[in-house]
Amino acid sequence: MSDELNSIDESVRLIVMEARRPVAIDPEARRRLAEALRAEPAPTRSSRVLSWFVEPRPFALPPFTTAALAAGLVGIGVLTGIALNRDGRAPTEQPRAVAASSQLPDSVAPRAIKFVLVAPQAARVSVVGDFNGWDSAATPAKREADGTWTTYVPLRPGRHIYSFVVDGTHFVSDPSAPIAPDDGYGQKNSVVVVAGASS
Amino acid sequence: MSDAADVQRVLSGDVDAFGRLVDRYYERCARFAVRMLGSRDDAEDALQATFLRAYRSLGKYQERDKFSAWLYRILVNQCRSIAARRNQRERVFVREEAVLLNAPDRTPNWTGEESELVQRVLAELDPLLREAFLLKYIEEMSYEEMSTLTGVGVSALKMRVKRACDRLRARWEYIKDE
């Protein structure tokens, strides 16, 4: 038994020992995983998603309202209650978030979703969501001269949960987008619904 | 063969080498997912998503990181994502379900009662506390490893683990006295 276990209460130690026991997973789940892996293209150093990002693509951004209605996307909103100033004062200009989309030629391909957060006081902004494993390092936004932060994310049709991360610690939901059900972590996330090509 | 060597083999076209990585980590990841999510179905979804995501992202894996830490980071995030998606549905822990989460135990006189209670008190824990507790004591990670994985500071993680232990102890003693 490790020293660390010796230092904890007996009842907690019992819980630890019990929780360390192996669990039973349906062998079918393992088989399904093997099948899904076989169906995947072989990974390479330059992944398809990465190259998608670096290839310049024209984005035809429709009027925001049209896009929002058509694709159920997030809207323009003013975020409140987010203290972005490093000196603790309320920011004079509140960040706002917009997103828009453009349709890629392939109907089954992801659609390019543009995320914009206006946060002049922020030092770093990224977008996290179920599409990037909630990895705050995966999708950094680029700062424009006017204090807006922009990034594009290829999203397949469907419902995606996301949030902005400001300065690596502040999770900022989009107040004008639908709020996802509580994630159990005390954090409010936003929802973007990407419409399919036929809708 | 090391994890790094297997990753290299996969990226060189020997995709079967990924199977060895799955074999090496599947059971550990399964245990974390089951304890974290309290549901075998959700855990299986998390495992599927984790290994698929790892496979697809293998080209972006940086060798300076331990593969296990990189994989766990994906797993923890997938568990969070699934927890967010399951719409706060009420978990009803019946004894049979909790017992079934564990592998069969051939220990004489083992009734499964302890498994049921453990799963129950873990489920009642705040998810952030449960996550920190599992990483610390079930996955036996250092606080530094946990910090790298979660992006949360060491002192905050220590506080979460301590609170988790306090609450688990209180609940355990209360339930055992029922």
Question: Which backbone phi and psi does B125 adopt, to 5 degrees?
Answer: -75, 145
Report whether pLDDT(B96) > 50: no
Number of H helices, E strands in chain A: 5, 9
**Residue A109: CATH number of its domain:** 2.60.40.10
pLDDT mean across residues, chain A: 66
At B94 the pLDDT is 42
Q: Does B169 touch chain A (CB under 8 A)?
A: yes
pLDDT mean across residues, chain B: 83
Number of H helices, E strands in chain B: 9, 0
**Contact across the interface for A24 and B140, Cβ inside 8 Å:** no
Q: Report chain A's terminal Cα–Cα distance, integer Å.
A: 59
Give dist(CA A47, CA B57) in Å, integer.
7
Domain containing residue A182: 58-194
What is the mean pLDDT of the segment spanning A164-178? Answer: 73
Q: Which residue of A has its CA nearest to B139?
A: A20
Question: Each residue of A186-196: pLDDT tens digit?
Answer: 566 788 888 76
> Measured between CB atoms, which of A30, A45, A180 is closest to B11?
A45
Q: Which residue of A has its CA nearest to B120?
A: A15
Inter-CA distances, B115 with A6, A191, B34, B73, Å: 21, 37, 12, 27
**pLDDT band (50, 70, 90) for residue B118:** confident
Q: Is pTM, for the whole model, over 0.90?
A: no
More confident of the two residues B115 and A142: A142
Mutate: best of B55, B87, B117, B171, partner A, most A CBs <10 A:
B55
Q: Which residue of A has its CA nearest to B152?
A: A169
Q: Does the interface ipTM go beyond 0.90?
A: no
Give chain A's domain count: 2
Q: Report chain B's terminal Cα–Cα distance, integer Å.
A: 51
More confident of the two residues A70 and B83: B83
**Contact across the interface for B137 and A25, Cβ inside 8 Å:** no
**Contact across the interface for B48 and A43, Cβ inside 8 Å:** no
Residues A131, A105: one domain? yes
Residues A36, A74: one domain? no
* Inside any domain, residue A16: yes
At A70 the pLDDT is 35
Question: Residues A19, B151: contact at Cβ < 8 Å?
Answer: no
**pLDDT band (50, 70, 90) for residue B142:** very high
What is the mean pLDDT of the segment spanning A72-92? Answer: 33
DSSP state of A175: T
Report whether pLDDT(A180) > 70: no
Could you give all domains of chain B from N- to C-terminal order, each with its CATH number?
Answer: 1-91 (1.10.1740.10)
- Residues of chain B with Cβ-Cβ distance to A189 below 8 Å are 84
Residues A71, A155: one domain? yes
**pLDDT band (50, 70, 90) for residue B131:** very high
* Inside any domain, residue A47: no
Residues in B 13-52 with any Cβ partner in A closer than 8 A: 13, 15, 18-19, 22, 26-27, 30-31, 34-35, 40, 43-44, 47-48, 51-52
Question: Each residue of B38-80: pLDDT tens digit?
Answer: 888 889 999 999 999 999 988 878 766 789 999 999 999 899 8
SS3 B139: coil
Tell me how many degrees the CA angle B34-B96-B139 measures, rounded to the nearest 5.
Answer: 20
